[in-house]
Amino acid sequence: MSQKFDRSAEDLGNAIHFEHVNIQVPDQRLATLFYVAGLGLTRDPYLMVSDTNMWINAGRSQFHLPSGKPQVVRGHTGLVIAGREALLQRLASVAKKLEGTAFAFAEHNDYVEATCPWGNRLRCYEPDAARFGRITLGIPYVEFEVPIGTAEAICAFYPDIMGMPASLRNGDGKVATVKTGRDQYLLYRESDRPQPDYDGHHVQMYITNFSGPYRRLLERNLVSREDNQYQYRFCDIVDLDSGKHLFTVEHEVRSATHPMFMRPMVNRNPAVNNRNYANGHDEALWAMGLDQYEG
């Protein structure tokens, strides 16, 4: 008898890749210290190379850090990055230069939490195929803290409007889990913790059915910005029955025909320096190797 496969396990829905989190920062130097020197990520060498913006590569995803009034995600971003001890050493090495800011880091059982100079929290995990798929470097999720009683309606919004599968989990509070790509998610966790007003940060994903969600958003007057032929934006998530506002975060929605879809990303190996340099080890691999193939 041939092996039985769960073919639905490979369904992505309409979103095929989560690419970036965009957060304004007021100081590009301090951002470099945190994201590049501390976390060990890589500044994109091709785009946004002046002193008013920087794109930080994390596997096939990015952080976009334009200059401006600081923005803070109301929740945290998940980051998979190999080498916990090396990460802790890098973060400790920049601590003195980041004194007087919100920078901090702390060890937890299964992650290291690092806080950027303006208060954005990142949970840094070791690669784990059971939890995050085959990535060894990347952004598997962004988690937002949302008001009590909103997760179920948020969970209904994404499949109906965006064509993105979503499920509701119960555990440490209700969580709406929205699939944004292979092993990538937006999480909306109910919390009674007071949250600041939305400050303009955004997340970006690529979708295959580009026009369908656009028409449904337009019908509800939810399209917030028309960028170009390949891209539009919306901010508000609403209850589909009542129209009640649930949560606000800008979504930059791109088509799979966008010129930058899956552009190659340079990722350096942060363990290499001028004292231990060895040819062929400059680049960090963002996915697990042949011996770790799950099939």
Q: Classify residue 228 as exposed, middle or buried by CB count within 10 Å of its CB (0-12, 13-18, 19+).
A: exposed
Residue 70 domain-assigned? yes
Look up the pTM and report it: 0.94
* CA separation for the pair 30, 34 (Å, rounded): 6
| Number of domains the chain contains | 1
Let me know: does 125 contact 131? Beta carbons within 8 Å: yes
Nearest partner of 250 among 25, 12, 23, 65, judged by Cα = 23
The helix (H) or strand (E) run that includes residue 94 is helix 84-94
User: 242: domain CATH number?
Assistant: 3.10.180.10
CA distances from 284 to 47, 85, 144, 161, 163 (A): 19, 17, 29, 37, 34
Let me know: does 154 contact 246? Beta carbons within 8 Å: yes
Residue 290 domain-assigned? no
* CA separation for the pair 199, 77 (Å, rounded): 16
CA atoms in the 13 A half-sphere facing the CB of 23? 25
Residue 1 domain-assigned? no
Residue 168 domain-assigned? yes
Residue 283 domain-assigned? no
Residue 279 domain-assigned? no
- Note down the domain range covering 111: 11-270
Residue 138 domain-assigned? yes
Residue 292 domain-assigned? no
What averages of pLDDT result for each successive group of 10 residues across the chain (295 residues)? 81 93 98 98 96 96 98 98 97 98 97 98 96 95 97 97 95 90 96 93 97 97 97 98 97 97 94 91 87 61
Enumerate the β-bridge partners of residue 22. 64, 202
What's the confidence (pLDDT) of residue 295?
54
What's the confidence (pLDDT) of residue 1?
57
